[in-house]
């Protein structure tokens, strides 16, 4: 050892006692002080002053029990610490201690006996460390771990569990029990491969998925997993690797979701879409033959007065109306389930709508010898809504009332204003409804027992449509009955709006003016019957059976009106309309679609193609006649 260094060490050794005192005094992170054999404080360092709040003058000479809570002092714990330190040569403890200001802190305490050269006890050294922050951190960590554990245990829709680095299952939550239908006793301590199908185990899938998770940190997979003793289920599995600070693999966490319900929902959605598409196509295919039949019946009714023929055509007309309604109901089922029913809002007098509905169902009521009475307020009940859809509501209610009322029964309709609401009631003295049927009356495909044979058709969605349409108008609908055999009352309420002073519900008589019409339809019969009806009304009509032929006809001069089928050969009605609009004079012609396609998307496509109106087959001949007459009236008046 170099001489200068030896001299420095000897000098320090000579000052050892003083140097040690200064060293202890400079420590601020620990309270270090000496006690007499009885526990009286003999020394005090700066760390003790910082931690406990007492100065040396305040602490020296007092018993160290002043740092202990009252309960610990009462049970003699300070003296017990000194006793154990004397017996064992050292005593360490953790617990609450008291500061000068009365606050407590969590302390780690080490007490060691001090012996003289003869081994006699001359006092104790006491080292105190404030662990409050560490204990709070540990408490928060424990609480977080407990909360996470409780969270994982409470999850029931997903299986969440841990594996060790070798793939053995270490934890199992309640979701695991439900998803796998296996208990912790069946799985914990066993390899995760036990949760795979035999074929996947044979192909090494468990090993490969864990290896992928270890390499990429997270691995996603879909596949079959074991369920119960011998079953399996489609699963979505996320496997994440766990590592320590050094990056070494310590295990895996797995989250497993049972896709059985999800796959079923996807399958049902796909099936529902196919059903909707089928219904739309079926409705179109049914409407095409219904249109010429309807118009042919209208022609027969106009030109023949022979009693037997008239009775026959009336029968055909009634049954055709029923068949048309069934086709409309088919399409409305699709619209309801697809949420695609829309309304065109304008001011409508609900009294006139109800009156029109009574007129529309009068023939059915007369065939059953029903007495139909109406009681309306004298003032108009103006609502903001779609007149056609609201008419559909009350026609459906009146039709239902007739269907479920015996011959000679009574139907009463009333419309009143109350608290800003138009309240319409349709009451019959028919077969009524039991409690169970009342609860389900507005559900799709629900029907009561008929009082008569099922001769009217219908799909059991009338009240469902009523509810949907009324709610779209911001209204309510409710059914009430005193029970089977006591009749039924259906109440519709709709919010009333103030009239803007315009005539909102009348249709002026179009007069007897005539127009030139081009009918375009590949169905020869349908085109001919429409032409015949319009010719009887005095209009000049020509016919084309495909798009090119229609375009060729208008090149020689546009007619006033084009009635256009959409499903044409060679080019669609939409294409025909677009090309007509681009031709000289094409911007002024009125183009009307007459098609079996009647969904909202079909109407939107027609509007986009430049078509002014879209009628759905079979259109009522009277409606078509009035529409064409109104165009003629406007043309002659110079309004278009």
Read off the pLDDT of residues 233-272 as tens digits, 9 standing for 90 and up. Answer: 999 999 999 998 888 999 999 999 888 876 666 666 666 6
| Better-scored residue on pLDDT, 105 or 321 | 105
Where does 155-258 sit in CATH, by number?
A: 3.30.450.20
Could you tell me the two tokens for 13? 């050794």
Q: What percent of the chain has pLDDT over 70?
A: 78
Measure Cα distances from 325 to 256, 423, 619, 630 in Å. Answer: 50, 26, 12, 26
| Better-scored residue on pLDDT, 303 or 11 | 303
- The pLDDT of residue 488: 92
For helices 387-403 and 462-472, what crossing angle results, to 10°? 150
Contact 425, 488 (CB under 8 A): no
pLDDT-based confidence at residue 341 (cuts at 50, 70, 90): low
For 289, phi then psi, to 5°, come to -75, -25
> What average pLDDT does this structure show over 15-31?
66
- Give the CATH class of 3-131: alpha beta
For strands 421-428 and 488-495, give the pairing. antiparallel
Query: What is the full DSSP assignment across 508-557?
Result: ----S---EEEEE-S-HHHHHHHHHHHHHTT-EEEEESSHHHHHHHHHT-
> What average pLDDT does this structure show over 434-443?
77
Measured CA to CA, the distance from residue 170 to residue 149 in angstroms comes to 13
The arrangement of secondary structure in 346-495, i.e. its CATH architecture, is: 2-Layer Sandwich (3.30)
Could you tell me the two tokens for 269? 């959605």
- The pLDDT of residue 508: 35
Read off the pLDDT of residues 30-83 as tens digits, 9 standing for 90 and up. Answer: 999 989 999 999 989 999 999 999 999 999 999 999 999 999 999 999 999 999
For 336, phi then psi, to 5°, come to -65, -50
Across all residues in the chain, what is the average pLDDT? Answer: 81
pLDDT-based confidence at residue 439 (cuts at 50, 70, 90): confident
Measured CA to CA, the distance from residue 518 to residue 573 in angstroms comes to 13
Could you tell me the two tokens for 87? 């017996």
The answer to whether domain 3-131 and domain 346-495 are alike in fold is no
> What average pLDDT does this structure show over 221-232?
87
For strands 346-349 and 590-595, give the pairing. unpaired
Reduce the DSSP state of residue 340 to 3 states and report it.
coil
Return the closest-CA partner of residue 597 out of 281, 293, 298, 362.
281
Residue 106 CB neighbours (<10 A): 18
- The pLDDT of residue 238: 92
Spans of all domains in the chain: 3-131, 155-258, 268-318+509-640, 346-495
pLDDT at 322 over 80: no
CATH superfamily of 268-318+509-640: Response regulator (3.40.50.2300)
Of 10-14, 573-577, 608-612, where does mean pLDDT reach its minimum? 10-14
E strand map for 244-301:
249-258
With 0-12 / 13-18 / 19 or more C-beta atoms within 10 angstroms meaning exposed / middle / buried, residue 47 is buried
- The pLDDT of residue 330: 63
Could you tell me the two tokens for 93? 């403890």
pLDDT-based confidence at residue 225 (cuts at 50, 70, 90): very high
How many residues appear in the chain? 640
Nearest 10 degrees: Cα torsion 502, 503, 507, 509: -90
| Better-scored residue on pLDDT, 402 or 465 | 402
Contact 597, 555 (CB under 8 A): no
> What average pLDDT does this structure show over 551-577?
90
> What average pLDDT does this structure show over 152-168?
77
Reduce the DSSP state of residue 169 to 3 states and report it.
strand
Measured CA to CA, the distance from residue 128 to residue 449 in angstroms comes to 89
Read off the pLDDT of residues 458-491 as tens digits, 9 standing for 90 and up. Answer: 444 567 778 888 888 888 888 999 888 889 999 9
Q: What is the b/e burial string over 152-179, where b = at least 16 CB atoms within 10 angstroms of the residue's CB? A: beebeebbbbbbeeebebebbbebbbeb
Q: To which H or E segment does residue 241 belong?
A: strand 231-243
Tokens 């009348």: give the residue.
506
Measured CA to CA, the distance from residue 434 to residue 441 in angstroms comes to 10
pLDDT-based confidence at residue 179 (cuts at 50, 70, 90): confident
- The pLDDT of residue 396: 87
**Chain mean position to CA 57:** 73
pLDDT-based confidence at residue 337 (cuts at 50, 70, 90): low
> What average pLDDT does this structure show over 182-192?
91
pLDDT at 504 over 50: no
Read off the pLDDT of residues 591-615 as tens digits, 9 standing for 90 and up. Answer: 999 887 777 677 788 889 999 888 8
Could you tell me the two tokens for 591? 């183009």
- The pLDDT of residue 410: 94
């Amino acid at each position: 050892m170099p001489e200068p260094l030896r001299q420095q060490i000897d000098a320090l050794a000579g000052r050892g006692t003083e140097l040690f005192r200064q060293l202890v005094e400079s420590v601020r992170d620990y309270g270090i002080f000496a006690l007499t054999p009885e526990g009286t404080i003999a020394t005090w360092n700066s760390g003790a002053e910082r931690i406990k709040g007492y100065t040396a003058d305040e602490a020296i000479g007092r018993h160290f029990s002043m740092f202990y809570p009252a309960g610990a002092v009462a049970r003699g714990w300070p003296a017990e610490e000194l006793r154990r330190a004397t017996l064992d040569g050292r005593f360490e403890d953790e617990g609450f201690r008291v500061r000068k200001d009365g606050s407590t802190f969590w302390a780690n305490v080490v007490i060691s006996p001090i012996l003289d050269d003869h081994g006699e006890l001359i006092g104790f050294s006491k080292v105190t460390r404030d662990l409050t922050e560490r204990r709070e951190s540990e408490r928060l960590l424990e609480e977080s771990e407990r909360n996470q554990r409780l969270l994982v245990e409470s999850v029931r829709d997903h299986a969440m569990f841990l594996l060790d680095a070798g793939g053995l299952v270490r934890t199992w939550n309640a979701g695991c029990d439900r998803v796998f239908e296996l208990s912790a006793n069946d799985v914990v301590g066993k390899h995760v491969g036990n949760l795979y199908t035999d074929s996947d185990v044979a192909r090494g899938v468990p090993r490969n998925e864990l290896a992928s998770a270890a390499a990429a940190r997270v691995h996603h997979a879909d596949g079959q997993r074991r369920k119960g003793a011998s079953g399996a289920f489609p699963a979505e599995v996320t496997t994440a690797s766990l590592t320590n600070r050094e990056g070494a693999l310590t295990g895996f966490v797995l989250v497993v979701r049972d896709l059985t319900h999800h796959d079923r929902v996807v399958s049902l959605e796909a099936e529902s879409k196919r059903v909707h598409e089928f219904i739309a196509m079926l409705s179109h295919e049914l409407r095409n033959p219904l249109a010429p039949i309807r118009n042919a019946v209208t022609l027969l009714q106009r030109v023949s007065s022979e009693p037997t023929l008239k009775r026959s055509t009336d029968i055909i007309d009634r049954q055709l109306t029923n068949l048309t309604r069934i086709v409309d109901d088919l399409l409305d089922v699709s619209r309801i389930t697809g949420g695609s029913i829309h309304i065109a809002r304008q001011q409508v007098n609900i009294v006139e709508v109800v009156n029109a509905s009574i007129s529309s169902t009068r023939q059915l009521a007369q065939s059953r010898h029903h007495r139909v009475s109406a009681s309306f307020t004298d003032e108009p009940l103006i609502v903001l809504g779609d007149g056609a859809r609201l008419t559909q509501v009350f026609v459906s209610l009146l039709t239902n009332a007739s269907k479920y009322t015996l011959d000679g029964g009574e139907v009463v309709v009333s419309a009143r204003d109350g608290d800003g609401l138009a309240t319409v009631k349709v009451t019959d003295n028919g077969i009524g409804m039991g409690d169970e049927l009342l609860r389900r009356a507005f559900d799709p495909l629900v029907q009561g027992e008929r009082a008569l044979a099922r001769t009217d058709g219908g799909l059991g969605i009338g009240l469902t449509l009523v509810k949907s349409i009324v709610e779209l108008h911001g209204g309510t609908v409710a059914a009430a009955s005193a029970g089977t055999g006591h009749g039924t009352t259906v109440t519709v309420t709709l919010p009333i709006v103030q009239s803007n002073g315009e005539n909102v519900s009348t249709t002026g008589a179009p007069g007897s003016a005539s127009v030139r019409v081009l009918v375009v339809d590949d169905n020869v019969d349908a085109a001919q019957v429409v032409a015949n009806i319009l010719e009887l009304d005095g209009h000049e009509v020509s016919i084309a059976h495909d798009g090119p032929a229609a375009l060729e006809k208008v090149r020689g001069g546009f007619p006033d009106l084009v009635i256009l089928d959409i499903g044409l050969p060679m080019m669609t009605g939409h294409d025909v309309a677009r090309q007509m609009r681009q031709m000289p004079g094409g911007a002024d012609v009125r183009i009307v679609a007459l098609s079996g396609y009647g969904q909202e998307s079909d109407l939107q496509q027609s509007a986009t193609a430049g078509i002014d109106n879209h009628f759905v087959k079979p259109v009522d001949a009277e409606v078509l006649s009035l529409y064409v007459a109104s165009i003629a009236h406007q043309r002659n008046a110079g309004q278009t």
